[in-house]
Amino acid sequence: MFVEVVCPEENCFSGDATMVISRTPNGEIGILEGHEKTVATLMPGGLTIEHDNTRTSFAISGGILQVTSDKVVVLGEIVEKVDGDHEKAIEIGQELGKKAFPEE
């Protein structure tokens, strides 16, 4: 499936992938080829993409996930590539969420 991850500043990832993992208000979601069409809000945390027998992780402050029959699009407010695994991306993403949306 084709995956695109974009934020206001740049296109963070674009390419074929076998799996996408992120967090919605209802918990983590894993997207595989053939997943039903979906639109979901993404919570601050980690976004991991499995591609070319490797995993690339991003910290994300929150955003929107759209799954169509052949494509996954992630629109994020703040997205940063993380040197580390999904757990590290979750940690950093939660901090980004606090910066992007401070409590009043």
Q: Mean pLDDT of successive 10-residue segments in the chain (104 residues)?
A: 94 96 94 94 95 94 94 95 89 85 63
How many residues appear in the chain? 104
- Residue 47 CA to residue 12 CA, distance in Å, equals 11
pLDDT of residue 99: 76
pTM of the model: 0.89
Whether the Cβ atoms of residue 30 and residue 65 lie closer than 8 Å to each other: no
- Residue 77 CA to residue 44 CA, distance in Å, equals 10
- Residue 65 CA to residue 51 CA, distance in Å, equals 18
- Residue 22 CA to residue 26 CA, distance in Å, equals 11
pLDDT of residue 103: 67
Domain ranges of the chain: 2-100
- Residue 28 CA to residue 45 CA, distance in Å, equals 10
In CATH terms, 2-100 corresponds, of 1.10.3720.10, 2.60.15.10, 3.40.50.720, 3.40.50.2000, to 2.60.15.10
- Residue 65 CA to residue 49 CA, distance in Å, equals 13
